[in-house]
């Protein structure tokens, strides 16, 4: 028995994935290499054995389809994407196989993710402690977090970031007012900055160690 291919459409969010529509009403999502491997094109009929092989292949592609759809909307670390796939009902083994393939294709790269996410947080005025905590939440390895924080230092000292925020958010800040100073210190501590850097930034006549 042969099954006719009615049409093939390119997936809008990934140029390497296609949806194949068959005359019997079925549709499959495949990669471009599968199109070549099975010589798929509209108007031709494929043998039942090839069709069954495509069906089997499509099952493994479903997790890739969902992964790429997620990645088309935002960046994910390997661990955060794994958790998302498991939430969608995939077991850990299937999710890990997809993640291995996605890493090979460079769709997920924890090195790049950690650097870009840390830089984003840094530019949002977040300190090293908060950046570290956020990267840990995403399952980034300790060594990579340490390396990433070292790279962030190249963007500027925490002291300089605090000064910049002080000049914009706290224009009328009076460092001689202890209550106001405590509030400012608390603000920067919540943002993940070290007390030493905060103290250095706001210290003129006041001794922050006594607060």
Four-way CATH pick for 2-104: 2.10.260, 1.10.3470, 1.10.10, 1.10.287? 1.10.10
What is the structure's pLDDT at 164?
A: 86
Question: Does residue 13 surpass a pLDDT of 80?
Answer: no
- Helices marked H in 17-91 — which ranges? 32-37, 48-71, 78-87
Q: Phi and psi for 47 in degrees, rounded to 5? A: -65, 155
Q: How many CA atoms lie within 13 A of 116 on its CB side?
A: 10
The 10s digit of each residue's pLDDT in 77-86 is 999 999 999 9
Question: Does residue 15 surpass a pLDDT of 60?
Answer: yes
Asked if 127 and 193 count as a contact pair (C-beta separation under 8 A), the reply is yes
What is the structure's pLDDT at 59?
A: 63
Share of the chain above pLDDT 70, in %: 94
124 burial type by CB count under 10 A (0-12 exposed, 13-18 middle, 19+ buried): exposed
The 10s digit of each residue's pLDDT in 147-185 is 999 988 888 788 888 888 888 888 888 777 888 888 999
pTM: 0.67
Asked if 99 and 78 count as a contact pair (C-beta separation under 8 A), the reply is yes
What is the structure's pLDDT at 171?
A: 80
CA-wise closest residue to 102 among 31, 39, 53: 31
């Amino acid at each position: 028995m042969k099954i006719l291919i009615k049409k093939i459409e390119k997936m809008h969010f990934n140029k390497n994935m296609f949806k194949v529509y068959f005359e019997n009403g079925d549709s499959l999502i495949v990669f471009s290499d599968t199109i070549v491997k099975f010589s798929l094109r509209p108007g031709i009929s494929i043998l039942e054995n090839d069709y069954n092989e495509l069906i089997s292949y499509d099952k493994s592609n479903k997790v890739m389809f969902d992964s790429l759809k997620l990645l088309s909307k935002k960046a994910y670390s390997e661990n955060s994407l794994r958790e998302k796939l498991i939430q969608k009902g995939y077991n850990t083994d299937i999710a890990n196989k997809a993640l291995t393939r996605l890493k090979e294709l460079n769709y997920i790269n924890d090195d790049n993710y950690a650097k870009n996410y840390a830089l984003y947080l840094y530019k949002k005025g977040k300190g090293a402690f908060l950046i570290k905590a956020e990267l840990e939440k995403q399952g980034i390895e300790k060594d990579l977090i340490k390396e990433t924080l070292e790279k962030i230092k190249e963007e500027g000292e925490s002291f300089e970031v605090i000064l910049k925020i002080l000049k914009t958010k706290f224009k009328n800040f009076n460092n001689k007012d202890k209550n106001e100073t405590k509030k400012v210190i608390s603000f920067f501590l919540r943002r993940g900055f070290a007390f030493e850097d905060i103290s250095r930034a706001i210290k003129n006549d006041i001794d922050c160690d006594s607060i």
